[in-house]
A = this chain, B = another copy of it.
Amino acid sequence: MNTLTRRLYAARTQQGAGAVPTPVPAHGTVPAAATRPAAAVASAADGSDPLAAYRITREPYWRTVGDEVALYEAAYAVRMPMMLKGPTGCGKTRFVEYMAWKLGKPLITVACHEDMTASDLVGRFLLDASGTRWQDGPLALAARYGAICYLDEVVEARQDTTVVIHPLTDKRRMLPLEKKGEVIEAHPDFQLVISFNPGYQSLMKDLKQSTKQRFGALDFDYPEHEVEVEIVAHESGVDRETAGKLVHIAERARNLKGHGLDEGISTRMLIHAGSLIAQGVPALSACRMALVRPITDDADMRDALDAAVTTYF
């Protein structure tokens, strides 16, 4: 077993009084009212808290399987920058949300991409009626006021993005805003977290060693069978038998990874299928729509997966 941690992927969201009491599926039958169960972000009214929009007010559901929570807490205690490794849709983003909630720290998430510039992280001057005005980027905001800054899929970003985090990830803990001529000393609460999917990196896209060495790392993977059944049942609203069938289908597909499939079927996709079934969609249609069609355009692979579906439904 080369996987350090296992976690329960679920969201036993602690809802406020008067909220919908029934289980809320992943994408929820969103009520028209303003109470948004799917959102973990709150907005302060007066604006005096620059991080108000990034505070997590409801506990995201996370069932600890291994020691991942304790390890993260120890890493946060010494403000060690953290790297979360694992395949698509296995819960890395959820975990960092959970930890931010548990530690009571705001969380600023940035989805990295290859056209993102250092300025998108650090900030830029905007033109105002009275001239130029500096606007902190998400990294500067997190460093200045003390948030956990989570750079999702950092390997997608250009090098300037990864280099810009270096002074924040060693003993200096500072962020030079060269264009502004200011040096931000990181707030004591600030921590940097990055994620990436080891199956993705090519020779062209990998983190530099001088970046990797600045982080502690936690491995993530899909949950074990029983745990995943529980998650799917809980999140989608289907019974455990149906959830079990869905997990079996996923496990078959995951064995095809590298043999015609780039990635297996994730827990998130199982919850999609379950949600459709819970809406009354026939299981065969739901699985084709939520599990098979999204991940392959190849006719043979599609037929193979469809056959796997009919084995169980």
Of residues 1 through 31 on chain A, the ones whose CB sits less than 8 Å from some CB of chain B are 2, 4, 11, 25-31
Checking B118, B130, B188, B306 against A115 with a beta-carbon cut-off of 8 angstroms, the contacting residue is B118
Q: Does A227 count as interface, using CB distance less than 8 angstroms? A: no
Chain B residues whose CB sits within 8 angstroms of the CB of A112 once the complex forms: 163
Q: Does A240 count as interface, using CB distance less than 8 angstroms? A: no
How distant is the Cα of A167 from the Cα of B213 in the complex, in angstroms? 28
Contact with B along A259-298 (1 / 0, CB 8 A): 0001101101100100110011100010011100111010
Contact with B along A106-120 (1 / 0, CB 8 A): 000111111111101
CB-based contact B115/A170 at 8 Å:
no
A126 to chain B, nearest CB (A): 5
Chain B residues whose CB sits within 8 angstroms of the CB of A109 once the complex forms: 167, 176
CB-based contact A111/B183 at 8 Å:
no
A89 to chain B, nearest CB (A): 5
Q: Does A204 count as interface, using CB distance less than 8 angstroms? A: no
CB-based contact A279/B77 at 8 Å:
yes
How distant is the Cα of A203 from the Cα of B113 in the complex, in angstroms? 18
Checking B89, B110, B173 against A213 with a beta-carbon cut-off of 8 angstroms, the contacting residue is B89
Q: Does A299 count as interface, using CB distance less than 8 angstroms? A: yes
Q: Does A232 count as interface, using CB distance less than 8 angstroms? A: no
Q: Does A138 count as interface, using CB distance less than 8 angstroms? A: yes
Chain B residues whose CB sits within 8 angstroms of the CB of A276 once the complex forms: 71, 74-75, 78, 80, 216
How distant is the Cα of A115 from the Cα of B127 in the complex, in angstroms? 23
Tier of interface size on chain A: 35 or more
Chain B residues whose CB sits within 8 angstroms of the CB of A53 once the complex forms: 182-183
How distant is the Cα of A198 from the Cα of B210 in the complex, in angstroms? 13
CB-based contact A293/B4 at 8 Å:
yes
Contact with B along A129-147 (1 / 0, CB 8 A): 1111001111001000000
Checking B70, B110, B136, B171 against A27 with a beta-carbon cut-off of 8 angstroms, the contacting residue is B171
CB-based contact A213/B77 at 8 Å:
no
New A-B pairs, 4, CB < 8 Å, besides A74-B280, A80-B272, A111-B167: A39-B172, A41-B172, A67-B285, A114-B160
Q: Does A242 count as interface, using CB distance less than 8 angstroms? A: no
CB-based contact A115/B294 at 8 Å:
no
CB-based contact A89/B216 at 8 Å:
no
How distant is the Cα of A127 from the Cα of B164 in the complex, in angstroms? 24
A92 to chain B, nearest CB (A): 11
How distant is the Cα of A130 from the Cα of B128 in the complex, in angstroms? 7
CB-based contact A210/B302 at 8 Å:
no
How distant is the Cα of A111 from the Cα of B177 in the complex, in angstroms? 11
| Nearest 4 A/B pairs, CB to CB | A217-B293, A129-B131, A198-B297, A113-B163
